[in-house]
A and B are shown apart, each in its own frame.
Chain A
Amino acid sequence: MRRAIQVPLVVAFLLLLAAVATRAENESQQTPSPAPAAREATPTPAAKETTPAPPASVTIIAPREAHGVLGREVRSPTNEDMGRIVDVIVDRTGTVRAAVIDFGGFLGVGSRKIVVDWNALHFGRVADKGDSITLELTKAQVAAAPEYKEDTSIVVLGAAGNLQPFEDEH
């Protein structure tokens, strides 16, 4: 019994070390100024082994400019809690069409996944992790929307409040 507990603990500890190492690596990559040099250096050993591929192009985005949105809190203009972004819907041209938000409920009970138009979201304060993304809809509008189901026609809730079916373009 005791050994059964110890093994995962040891595993967890090793994983902890690994994670600390990776995090340190990530942080060093995030600092903008030394990053280009570091990234240009990395492809060279790989290039020697196989046929030489052109080095990948690198775009640097300053930390205040952009940020990931998965799991970010969404609020209405009147500062109502509108849930969190749990997925992003992209069409075949690669255009971002909509975001899936996990809306409502209490302690995870009764929450519903609603798809909202990408244009109804405002990302002005996206870079600040503690800040939220603004959704130009009210709670009542979002509550009435049908729930998101994978592999069916998606109903996207637009800023104007009207429901527009997300058509299958085939």
Chain B
Amino acid sequence: MIEATNGDRRQGAFGDNNTVPPQSGPAREKPHPSRRSLQGLDWFIFFLADVQTGFGPFIAVYLTTEKWTQSQIGLVLSIGSVIGLLGQMPGGAIVDAARSERLVAGFAIATIGCVALAYAALPIFPVVATAAAFHAAASCVLGPAIAAISLGLVGPHAIGERLGRNARFASLGNGMAAAVMGTCGYFISSRSVFLVTFCLTIPTLIALSRIRENEVDVARAHGAIFRETPDPQATSVVRLVRKRPLLIFAASVMLLQLANAAMLPLMAGAVTARSSQWAPVLIAFCIVVPQAIVALMSPTVGAKAQSWGRRPLLLIGFAALVIRGLLFAMVHDPYLLVVVQLFDGVTAAVFAVMIPLIVADVAFGSGHFNFAQGIVGTATGIGASLSTLMAGYVSDTFGSSVAFLGLAGAAALGLATIALIMPETKHVEA
């Protein structure tokens, strides 16, 4: 099904190009996106971070104040996470099949705006469950769409720096979202957070419209390259799915999430138990510190990925995660835990850039860049769900120190995977 749609589309996209005079070839190789488009993308990512993830943490609190029971809240959150997991690959396939990445992203944002409004207007089960499902589905499309627009704008040679910049604006956006929505949630009401989200969809859509449609090369955004004769081998989904680097990378990203996802919640629970008075402030710092590191470091990560290659950075990211798990198991002073969160920032900065970058390395030329992102996204989701389940169980039975050691063990396994079997995916420039 996916194969057929993509095949047809590619025929359409490339049928014309075959007759285009050769001087358009170099133009295709080295894209020159306008300042306006690039700044549009910056601000789009900045506001999107607010819209997409901003109100997530408030859902549980808000529904509690609306007299929802804990099991109902749990059910709604699970609906969201199941759809968020299953929707990754279809979401990527939709972005691959789309003729305009901007349009897909715009629809997804409008959906999230309506979802936020639905939460605020009518907190009853059918509405909230539907809204949670749509929110998760829209996120499955938005993730790949950002990377696709970036790749479509700047092309595979400049994508490392661009992804670094993307990660910077995303984490600045997250920081602003936490500040604005935290303030509204605290001083006004949990409901106001959803209305703020709805209002923020407007600047997001304006920023999106600043990106010039004609500068986002559709074929490039899907990871397709111009070929004189169509090559069914290179553009086969089956061949892409069987690529060893992609599978190894997906496995290591799963290990990453297995080690990472439960770490902050587990640590925050421990902080709440140990320091009653300052716990909320400390937890806030534990969330903000890594975001600040990402904002500072990710452009450097993008640049270094081009000069050093991908593997050294992946090793640094995993090593930081191992160290963090071990320190959480040993350090008990709540104030020092905030310092340990610096390592979270390192890991987050590395992977915010490396995940789309390595997928682009591996999938460029196949025309299924976004589907490949969906595969890695699914691995991320599986790892994260298993992480919370297993760490929760281990920490209840054996205590949180053992749980942190277990998480560090998963990270060490990921480190070994990268060190021993992950190949370098950076293309050697001709």
Contacts and interface: CB of A to CB of B under 8 A. Distances in A.
Q: Do A and B come from one complex?
A: yes
A105 interface: yes
A136 B279 CA distance: 20
A120 interface: no
A157 interface: no
A35 interface: no
B79 interface: no
Interface stretch (A40-48, A58-66, A142-150, A160-168): A142-150
A54 interface: no
Nearest to A141: B276
B67 A68 contact: yes
Contacts of A15: 122, 124, 126-127
Contacts of A108: 57-58, 60-61
Contact of B287 (A107, A140, A147): A107
Given A8-B134, A106-B284, A109-B287, A16 B121 contact: yes
Nearest to A142: B276
A136 to B, nearest CB: 16
B104 to A, nearest CB: 8
Contact of A71 (B67, B185, B280): B67
Given A5-B114, A16-B122, A106 B283 contact: yes
Contacts of B107: 1-2, 5
A12 B280 contact: no
Interface of A is mostly: mixed
Interface of B is mostly: helix
B65 A84 contact: yes
Contact count band on A? 35 or more
Given A5-B110, A12-B122, A102-B64, A110 B276 contact: no
B242 to A, nearest CB: 31
A71 B287 contact: no
Interface in A107-122: 107-112
B68 interface: yes
A53 interface: no
Contact count band on B? 35 or more
B111 interface: yes
Nearest to A73: B65
Given A108-B58, A108-B60, A103 B272 contact: yes
Nearest to A146: B273
A70 B65 CA distance: 8
Interface stretch (B34-42, B157-165, B210-218, B261-269): B261-269
A71 B69 CA distance: 9
A36 to B, nearest CB: 26
Given A106-B268, A142-B276, A143-B273, A86 B127 contact: no
Nearest to B279: A104
B83 to A, nearest CB: 13
A125 interface: no
B277 to A, nearest CB: 6
Nearest to B68: A71
A90 interface: no
B272 A104 contact: yes
B233 interface: no
Interface string A13-35: 00110010000000000000000
B130 A8 contact: yes
A110 B269 contact: yes
B396 A149 contact: yes
B57 A87 contact: no
B274 A19 contact: no
A109 B283 CA distance: 8
B58 A105 contact: no
B271 interface: yes
Contacts of A138: 276
A96 B272 CA distance: 27
Given A16-B122, A71-B67, A5 B272 contact: no
A11 B68 CA distance: 21
A9 B114 contact: yes
Nearest to B265: A109
B182 interface: yes
B118 interface: yes
Nearest to B60: A108
Nearest to A87: B70
Given A102-B64, A110-B269, A142-B276, 5 more contacts: A86-B69, A105-B279, A109-B287, A110-B279, A138-B276
8 contacts: A5-B114, A104-B276, A105-B269, A108-B61, A110-B279, A111-B269, A138-B276, A149-B396
Instruction: Give 5 nearest A-B pairs by CB, closest first.
Output: A110-B268, A143-B276, A104-B272, A106-B283, A107-B57
